[in-house]
Amino acid sequence: MKKIFLISVLVLLVVTGNIFAFFYANHSCDAYNNCLPPPGFKSFTSPTIGQLIIEGAGYFLASHYEMLRFLYKTELSEVNGVNYLELQEILISAIANMENASGTYKNLIQLARETPYDPAVIDKLMKFDYQGFMKKKSLTGDVFLKVQGFLAKGNVTGAYISMKASKDAIIAQLYTIKASLDANVFPDINLIYRVNQAYHDTMLFGQYMADVFNNL
């Protein structure tokens, strides 16, 4: 049963990985006309906004994967006992990938600040029917309203800043959990609940953002 469960999680993550490549803040680079170059086009000497979005999503997904592994091992710990060394290794990987995601978003924000917006796309964002869209798609209200708060003002760069802040908050939560493991103390379950929720909300924020751009 353990192997079946783990295989199911891995399959889900592979599928989700493909989704993330298209849905975690993607298309938002259209606001700057700075997305991926055409296939075979090699004139760009530095990453585009679109490339940085995909890279950041990849690191985020890798961290999320490690957190799911952590939850899996934690769930079975009452039966198998707590392997603190294994949990530490998993958490270290989750932290490293999230720190890479944050670093990528730091570069993304810098590039976005230096790149002019496309006025036509910003105009569409400001006129978009967010409330109707949220109702039609049955989206999670509290997360979508945060997305709306940035996009309805044409503040795409602000949305990126918020996404980086969410990643930094998760990093802080992961280090708190790690401190307990380093002391061979099982972490407060409430800390694990909160970081799991943070991963979920951060994922939805990026997905909703991409969904809006895909429907402009």
Q: Where are the domains of the chain?
A: 2-34+46-214
Q: Is 26 helix (H, G, I), strand (E, B) or coil?
A: coil
Q: What is the model's pLDDT at position 27?
A: 83
Parts of the chain with a pLDDT under 50: 1-21
Biggest distance spanned by C-alpha atoms of the chain: 58
Q: What is the model's pLDDT at position 45?
A: 64
Residue type (1 letter), 191: L
Question: How many whole angstroms separate alpha carbon 76 and alpha carbon 187?
Answer: 15
pTM, entire model: 0.85
Q: How far is CA 137 from CA 23, 126, 140, 190, in A?
A: 15, 19, 9, 31
Which residue matches tokens 């952590």? 70
Q: What is the model's pLDDT at position 37?
A: 64
Question: How many whole angstroms separate alpha carbon 152 and alpha carbon 140?
Answer: 17
Question: How many whole angstroms separate alpha carbon 216 and alpha carbon 33?
Answer: 15
Q: What is the model's pLDDT at position 6?
A: 43
**Residues listed for the chain:** 216
Structure tokens at 95: 């932290």
User: Taking the C-alpha atoms of 153, 156, 157 and 160 in order, what is their torsion angle to the nearest 10 degrees?
Assistant: 120
CA angle 168, 130, 108 (to 5 degrees): 30
